[in-house]
Amino acid sequence: MTVHANRFAGKAVVVTGAAQGIGRAVAERIAAEGGEVVLADRAELVHDVAGALREAGGKAHSVPVHSVTADLETYDGALAATDGALAAAGRIDVVVNNVGGTIWAKPYEHYTPEEIEKEVRRSLFPTLWMCRAALPHLIAQRSGTIVNVSSVATRGVNRVPYAASKGGVRAITTALALEAAPHGVRVVATAPGGTEAPPRAVQRGPLPATEQEKAWYQQIVDQTVESSLLKRYGTLDEQAAAICFLASDEASYITGTVLPVAGGDLG
């Protein structure tokens, strides 16, 4: 990880889905770069992650690290996360909306209506609700940045409901940027490609069990690698670097933009 010292000094940054994966990597980098960070997740694990970060990066860089638990699939949960962040840090300068992820991997005709709704609640509504909950505070202070995490899986196999949700995240970004700009608020996004990460401590859904389910998942992996010009998965650091750049003042003239971070796959 390349650290840009004090890039987030004086900033209060909320990172959702911060208990693991990309969210955790972003939170670690924000703290290492001098930002006061609030980790938000519905898993209690987020408090342990915040504790470890507090002992490592936060303590080393003399910046506070906080954590809140909330179910961001609901508006009440988004309000709770926003209120918790304000109570802990006193203000919000940046919101990184990272919650989401494929629950099932299979051709669309095999999804049940209930599964489709769960995918949309997991990968669209957390961003929609957090933008709504945080935006009034950013508008009131006439400054701030929202960084959403979409996906290049908007053009991918065996996860149509997830693709639709992440397409919605792109639309939130481009449309909200128009409304927020007059208030001094930027809205941007990254679109990650396949990303190598440690085994998840909290699973999104059932792991592929049957040979058919394993084959459907492998089709996703193969298509992801093939679509990348670099023919590989990315790393957590590569995803966090792009998110933190867009979140920082270095990107002050960028808004309404979705940046693919997928080795050349534009989604």
Residue 192: other Cβ atoms inside 10 A: 26
Strand order across the beta sheet in which 258-261 lies: 65-69, 36-41, 12-16, 94-97, 144-149, 185-192, 258-261
Q: How far apart are CA 233 and CA 211, in angstroms?
A: 24
Q: How far apart are CA 187 and CA 61, in angstroms?
A: 28
DSSP-derived letter for residue 63 is: -
Residue 169: other Cβ atoms inside 10 A: 24
Q: How far apart are CA 122 and CA 204, in angstroms?
A: 9
Which position among 108, 111, 162, 233 bears the catalytic label? 162
Q: Is 162 annotated in the active site?
A: yes
Question: Active-site residues: which are they?
Answer: 162
